[in-house]
Amino acid sequence: MFDERTIKRFKKSKASIFGLGLIAAFLLLALLAPFIAKPQGSDPYQMPQSGYSSEPQRPSAGKIFGTTESQYDLFYGVVWGARTAFKIGAAVIFVALGAGLIIGGLAGYYGGWADEGAMRLTDIILAFPGIVLAVVIVAMLGPGIEKVIFAIAAVSWPAYARLFRGDILTVKKQDYVTASRLMGAGDFWIFTRHILPNSIYPVVVVASLDIGSVVLTAAALSFLGLGAPAGYSDWGQLVAMSRNWILGGAGSPFAYWHTLLIPGGAIFLFVLAWNLLGDAFRDVLDPRQQ
């Protein structure tokens, strides 16, 4: 799938390099979070609060991004929020991809009733607008990061299962699979030695590029008050906190701009980076555009 020409074309695309650079910067921020913003309490993901006044403070020397509602430190929240974003993104993709590979794999390899059952199940889940089903699941489970991860994974796996199943169906018909079977190989051997290596890459690439949209959905759930618990470093929650302050004060309509633009900008750049990368991949791999 990735021959030399493809990689060359990919490197030529400036947008994809920019996206890759942004992702690397966010990753660095997430990894170095304990050094950039020192944790103060026992739970490092909990944003430190200075005082109890609800009115946000403007950026100042001590707090370079200022504070948001209830005096939560914005700089701390944005830095540790990067960690939260990667945590949620990676966990969702891990769970959803795992489920997609197992269910899609069984459906594609065995066919018949297993296939029919699995595909009708994906039909039903895909019959919902993703965010609606995620809202319903979180409503039933209650808020919390793990529940958000579960809810988003539960709505994302069908796409991966279908893609993987489709690829298996093509590989299954190849002559080398038949040859291996004639030589007496068992299902497990054939699947792991011949089918898996020839069908797994597309779905893994597609899934890992979905991290951006997963984080976007998680942020949306947090914004709706169905995600991270209060005070947890989470970009979506920080945007939700700015909601009461968008009107500004008398005579200065943009007095609290930082409460919206800083966490909102973080989500935007993060999602943009993944989308740039995803678009570049699609252009490079789309045979119709060559």
Partner 1 sequence: MRKFLLKRALMLPLVALGVTFLLFSLTGLLPPEMRASIYLQDQRELTPELMQELIKEHKLDAPLVVRYGTWLKSLLKGDLGYSETARMKVTDAIKTYLSATLELTIFAIIPIFFIGTRLGTISAVKKDKWPDQLTRLLAITGYSLPTFVFGLLALMFFYGWLGVLGPGRYSFETDMLIHSGAFKSYTGLLTVDSLLNFKPAVFWDAVKHLVLPASVLCFGSVAMLIRITRTSMLEELNKDYVRTARAKGLRESYVIAAHVRRNAMIPVITLVSLQFVRLLGGVVITETVFDFPGIGRWGVKAAQQLDLAGVMGFSLMSALLFVLANTVSDVLYAVMDPRIRYGE
d(CA 244, CA 213): 26
d(CA 128, CA 253): 39
Site for partner 1 in 196-235 (CB under 8 A): 212, 216, 219-220, 223-226
Q: Which residue in this structure is represented by tokens 């493809």?
A: 6
**Is 232 in a helix, a strand, or coil?**
strand
CB of 24 to partner 1, least distance (A): 18
Which tokens in the block code for residue 181? 């079977």
Site for partner 1 in 251-290 (CB under 8 A): 253-254, 257, 260-261, 264, 267-268, 271-272, 275-276, 279, 288-289
Which letter, b or e, does each residue of 208-221 get, where b requires 16 or more Cβ atoms within 10 Å of its Cβ?
ebbbbbbbbbbbbb
Q: Of the listed pieces 40-48, 53-61, 175-183, 241-249, which binds partner 1 according to CB under 8 A?
A: 241-249
Minimal CA–CA distance to 221: which of 279, 109, 110, 146? 146
Site for partner 1 in 80-139 (CB under 8 A): 120-121, 123-125, 127-133, 135-139
d(CA 176, CA 52): 69
Which tokens in the block code for residue 227? 């995600």
CB of 40 to partner 1, least distance (A): 28
Cβ closest to partner 1, residue 32 vs residue 139:
139
**Is 252 in a helix, a strand, or coil?**
strand
Cβ closest to partner 1, residue 120 vs residue 173:
120
CB of 226 to partner 1, least distance (A): 6
Count of residues interacting with partner 1 (CB under 8 A): 50
Q: By CB under 8 A, name the binding residues for partner 1.
A: 120-121, 123-125, 127-133, 135-141, 212, 216, 219-220, 223-226, 236, 239-240, 242-243, 246-248, 253-254, 257, 260-261, 264, 267-268, 271-272, 275-276, 279, 288-289
